[in-house]
């Protein structure tokens, strides 16, 4: 059987789904599935899991750029072949874990990883800043307001000391999304980087009726700023600029409403979200900084602002306190004071359930 | 070999300790990969102009499926002809992403022969993302994936997206359910819904083995399956003493190697329901008050373990902000046993889908449909009884709907009789 471009439906296989989850397990994982008793973090980046049977597996976690080439993956495979019997996995935050069944290979593996330049930094466990969950940015998406890979690299370089150490009160999860669609984890992260626009779309009246379904465009607007309009003979839409908050969802539906703008676009920073149920319930991230300009290639203002937040948190939070829990304890007025961030009109919610976020008590700090 | 495009801005991102995607892609370009070369040039232009350079949308795919491939075209093919077409293929990953080097090497060879050689490991939903190929390569790639790799495409569009779970029982002592089997089973059961868009909008499943929620299911899946237990936390009193005595490192070492552990300050006082006591000898947990937040278990992993009467909590409706605002999953089934073949759970799923496919508006996530048509209506169609565990608080407005059948006499009024009792 070989692929026949002239007979596409011949021998077609469909609906087989993914390989079964245990197909590539190391033997120790297979044998001790569901029998794990406890784990230890031996040092930043190194986990040990012990089974009821006494069996052990060591996992060495390394940071990765997520956007990686086949040659990089081949190098990862070389390492896994040498020390891990060819077994490895990726985490939910796009780190790589080398799975070591033979303890005598653990130190040689780590020495080897450290000898490979900056490709495989060890860390991301415990009270660290681990990998940044991020999106496509200018690398592949059509609706971004910022880049993803570039910003992530700049931020991780600056916060690198926290990746391979356990010196924070709790783990900090940083996420990035290049537009308000928030692909990924931006709405529920300790610190979130979000691409935002500040100018309404412009309407290409001669293209709208050819490339857009106008009712879908109108329904796509959260603030009802779009209505149909006839321009000469052409059916088009009109945008009420004073009602538009630049979310870009109409452009997602209609290619004739572009809004990307080099000077208008930039970054908003959010803080205090979490997904775990540990101690407190899951929380959304809240606005900390409404706008920072795009500053490629290293986004210095964004990077320094994030660092300031991390340092204020590390300085003020108690053990086990996530960023959101720290802020809830000290209050938002103190958060802005301790981070030196400016509080502005943009911070005050004005969408639908806005009033549930205003201060309805005399309890506040001067 | 000098590359085709100068990249002074991107070159700055080769500096610093974090792995550089620029160095990685340059390495590919330097060995003659023309797509990588033009991709770098295009990124440099975007960095310079601070605007992306991909055209809007792009509809491509493989026969038989309505999703799995994200079409993408560069808006400057005149400058960067080798990324004029740069489609992404989503490949369904094995749940929780365990691989052998054998399968990865084969996949690398396949992708280098048919595409850019660039990937995302992995997409946020979980897929292996093959980043950048041309339309004519899609069918041959798919043929090889299915025939040689026994692998299939993931989801895109208004359909069931690729489900994903935490690593569950494979390497975690806290997992209360077999997340990997649940995810594999659901993915196989609902292949049709995954490959052929039939929903009002996208729908995602995620499953975490415990309330730590390592796959963020409560925030990132329309239907979140989170492992939990109903009986007592198992306590090893000797191990508790070993933590108190400093022989065991608290938090499994996540705070570093420390010797100053204070069980009262770090565990007893931080319990959200204050249901724990320690008198210096015995740790007591009042199970009926425990909300299973995992804090004590994660700080004392060798002394405390989840109970043995295990199942899952099901939460529905999480989504990102567009359109009506971000939502977290809301509890709809406080506890359900999750054992293969998951018949009761699938019954729930199908009732939920039947309703949403009928009632959901175009591009309306199920969380928004529930907001619009009410949680009460949702519970009715999935045949669940209201339970205080479903709310943070009862309502505090009095705008309560009643069914006329539930009110004595119904809604028909005898106006004449009313006026006999009350003059107008």
Both tokens assigned to B23: 């160095």
Contacts of A149 in chain B (CB under 8 A): 21
Confirm or reject contact between B246 and chain A (CB < 8 A).
Answer: no
Q: Are B246 and B259 in contact (CB under 8 A)?
A: yes
CB count in 10 Å sphere of residue B387: 13
Average pLDDT of the residues in B365-389:
98
Mean pLDDT (chain B) is 97
Q: How far is A333 from chain B (nearest CA, A)?
A: 24
Tokens 């490339």 sit at which residue? Answer: A211
Measured between alpha carbons, how far is A300 from A305 in angstroms, rounded to an integer?
Answer: 8
Average pLDDT of the residues in B81-92:
98
> What pLDDT, on the 0 to 100 scale, is given for residue A323?
98
> What pLDDT, on the 0 to 100 scale, is given for residue B57?
83
Both tokens assigned to B78: 């005149």
Measured between alpha carbons, how far is B423 from B15 in angstroms, rounded to an integer?
Answer: 88
Nearest by Cα to B234 from B312, B167, B174: B174
- Say which of A42, A70, A141 has its CB closest to residue B111: A70
Stretches in chain A below the pLDDT threshold 50? none
User: pLDDT for B163-213, tens place per residue?
Assistant: 999 999 999 999 999 999 999 999 999 999 999 999 999 999 999 999 999
Let me know how many helices (H) and strands (E) chain B has, helices first.
Answer: 15, 14
- Preferred mutation among B14, B27, B56 to probe A, highest tally of A CBs within 10 A: B56
CB count in 10 Å sphere of residue A137: 25
Q: Is the pLDDT of residue B69 over 80?
A: yes
User: pLDDT for B286-322, tens place per residue?
Assistant: 999 999 999 999 999 999 999 999 999 999 999 999 9
> What pLDDT, on the 0 to 100 scale, is given for residue B59?
93
User: pLDDT for A139-192, tens place per residue?
Assistant: 999 999 999 999 999 999 999 999 999 999 999 999 999 999 999 889 999 999
User: pLDDT for B242-263, tens place per residue?
Assistant: 999 999 999 999 998 888 999 9
Nearest by Cα to B46 from A33, A218, A136: A136
Measured between alpha carbons, how far is A95 from B188 in angstroms, rounded to an integer?
Answer: 27
**A-proximal residues of B, 285-324, CB under 8 Å:** 291-295, 298-299, 301-302, 320-324
Q: Are B279 and B193 in contact (CB under 8 A)?
A: no
**Binary contact (A265, B253; C-beta < 8 A):** no
CA distances from A292 to A33, A145, A193 (A): 47, 12, 10
C-alpha B166 chain-centroid distance: 9
Measured between alpha carbons, how far is B112 from B293 in angstroms, rounded to an integer?
Answer: 46
CB count in 10 Å sphere of residue A39: 20
User: pLDDT for B89-128, tens place per residue?
Assistant: 999 999 999 999 999 999 999 999 999 999 999 999 999 9
> What pLDDT, on the 0 to 100 scale, is given for residue A185?
86
> What pLDDT, on the 0 to 100 scale, is given for residue A27?
98
Tokens 């924070």 sit at which residue? Answer: A168
Strands in A70-109 per DSSP E: 87-90, 96-100
**Binary contact (A69, B321; C-beta < 8 A):** no
Measured between alpha carbons, how far is A67 from A94 in angstroms, rounded to an integer?
Answer: 10
pLDDT band at B58 (very low <50, low <70, confident <90, very high): confident
Q: Is the pLDDT of residue B1 over 60?
A: no
Here the ipTM equals: 0.97
Which residue(s) pair with B227 in the sheet? B312
Which residue(s) pair with A195 in the sheet? A267
Q: Could you give the percent of chain B with pLDDT greater than 90?
A: 98
Q: Is the pLDDT of residue B2 over 90?
A: no
Tokens 């603030």 sit at which residue? Answer: A223
DSSP B324: T
């Amino acid at each position: 059987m070989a692929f026949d471009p002239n007979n596409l439906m011949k021998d077609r296989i469909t609906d087989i789904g993914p390989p079964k989850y245990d197909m590539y397990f190391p033997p120790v994982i297979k044998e001790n599935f569901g029998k794990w008793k406890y784990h230890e973090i031996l040092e930043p980046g190194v986990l040990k899991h012990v089974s009821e049977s006494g069996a052990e597996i060591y996992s060495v976690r390394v940071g990765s750029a997520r956007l990686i080439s086949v040659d990089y993956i081949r190098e990862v495979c070389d390492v896994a072949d040498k020390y891990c019997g060819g077994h490895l996995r990726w985490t939910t935050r796009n780190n790589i874990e080398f799975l070591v069944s033979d303890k005598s290979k653990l130190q040689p593996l780590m020495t080897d990883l450290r000898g490979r330049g900056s490709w495989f930094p060890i860390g991301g466990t415990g009270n660290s800043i681990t990998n940044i969950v991020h999106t496509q940015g200018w690398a592949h998406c059509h609706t971004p307001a910022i880049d993803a890979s570039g910003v992530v690299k700049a931020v991780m370089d600056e916060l690198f000391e926290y990746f391979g150490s356990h010196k924070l009160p709790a783990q900090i999860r940083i996420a990035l999304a290049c537009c308000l669609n928030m692909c990924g984890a931006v709405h529920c992260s300790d610190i979130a980087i979000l691409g935002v626009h500040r100018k309404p779309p412009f309407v290409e009246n001669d293209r709208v009726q050819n490339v857009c379904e106008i009712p879908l465009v109108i329904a796509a607007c959260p603030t009802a700023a779009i209505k149909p309009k006839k321009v000469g003979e052409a059916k088009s839409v009109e945008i009420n600029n004073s009602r538009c908050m630049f979310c870009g969802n109409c452009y997602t539906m209609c290619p004739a409403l572009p809004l990307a703008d080099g000077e208008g676009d930039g970054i908003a920073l959010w803080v205090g979200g979490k997904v775990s149920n540990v101690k407190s319930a899951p929380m959304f991230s809240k606005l900390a900084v409404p706008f920072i300009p795009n500053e490629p290639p290293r986004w210095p203002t964004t990077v320094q602002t994030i660092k300031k937040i991390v340092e204020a948190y590390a300085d003020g939070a108690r053990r086990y306190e996530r960023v959101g829990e720290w802020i809830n304890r000290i209050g938002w007025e103190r958060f802005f004071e301790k981070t030196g961030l400016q509080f502005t009109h943009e911070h005050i919610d004005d969408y639908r359930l806005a009033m549930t976020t205003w201060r309805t008590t005399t309890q506040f700090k001067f | 070999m000098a590359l085709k495009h100068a990249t002074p801005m991107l070159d700055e991102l080769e500096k610093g300790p974090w792995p550089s995607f620029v160095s990685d892609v340059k390495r590919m370009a330097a060995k003659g990969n023309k797509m990588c070369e033009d991709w770098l040039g295009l990124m440099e232009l975007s960095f310079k102009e601070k605007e992306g350079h991909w055209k809007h949308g792009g509809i491509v795919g493989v026969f038989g499926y309505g999703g799995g491939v994200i079409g993408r075209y560069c808006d400057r093919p005149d400058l960067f002809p080798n990324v004029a077409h740069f489609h992404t293929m989503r490949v369904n990953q094995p749940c929780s992403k365990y691989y052998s080097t054998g399968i990865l090497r084969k996949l690398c060879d396949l992708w280098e022969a048919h595409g850019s050689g660039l990937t995302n490991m992995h997409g946020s939903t979980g897929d292996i993302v093959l980043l950048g190929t041309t339309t004519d390569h899609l069918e041959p790639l798919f043929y090889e994936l299915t025939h040689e790799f026994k692998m299939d495409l993931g989801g895109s569009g208004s359909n069931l997206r690729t489900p994903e779970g935490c690593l569950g029982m494979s390497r975690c002592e806290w997992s209360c359910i077999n997340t990997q089997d649940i995810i594999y089973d659901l993915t196989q059961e609902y292949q049709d819904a995954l490959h052929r868009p039939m929903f009002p909008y996208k729908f995602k499943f995620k499953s975490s083995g415990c309330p730590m929620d390592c796959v963020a299911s409560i925030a990132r899946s329309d239907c979140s399956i989170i492992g939990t237990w109903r009986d007592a936390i198992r306590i090893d009193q000797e191990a508790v003493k070993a933590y108190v005595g400093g022989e065991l490192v608290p938090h499994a070492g996540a705070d570093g190697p420390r010797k100053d552990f204070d069980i009262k300050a770090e565990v007893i006082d931080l319990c959200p329901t204050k249901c724990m006591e320690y008198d210096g000898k015995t740790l007591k947990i009042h199970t009926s008050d425990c909300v299973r937040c995992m804090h004590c278990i994660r700080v004392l992993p060798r002394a405390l373990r989840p109970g043995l009467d295990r199942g899952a909590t099901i939460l529905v409706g999480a989504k990102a902000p567009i359109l009506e605002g971000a939502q977290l999953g809301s509890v709809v089934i406080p506890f359900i046993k999750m054992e293969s073949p998951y018949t009761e759970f699938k019954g729930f799923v199908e009732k939920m889908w039947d309703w949403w496919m009928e009632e959901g508006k175009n591009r309306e996530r199920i969380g928004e449909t529930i907001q619009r048509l009410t949680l009460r209506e949702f519970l009715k169609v999935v045949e669940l009884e209201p339970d205080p565990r479903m709310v943070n608080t009862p309502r505090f407005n009095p705008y309560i709907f009643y069914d006329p059948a539930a009110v004595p006499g119904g809604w028909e009024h005898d106006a004449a009789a009313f006026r006999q009792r009350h003059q107008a």
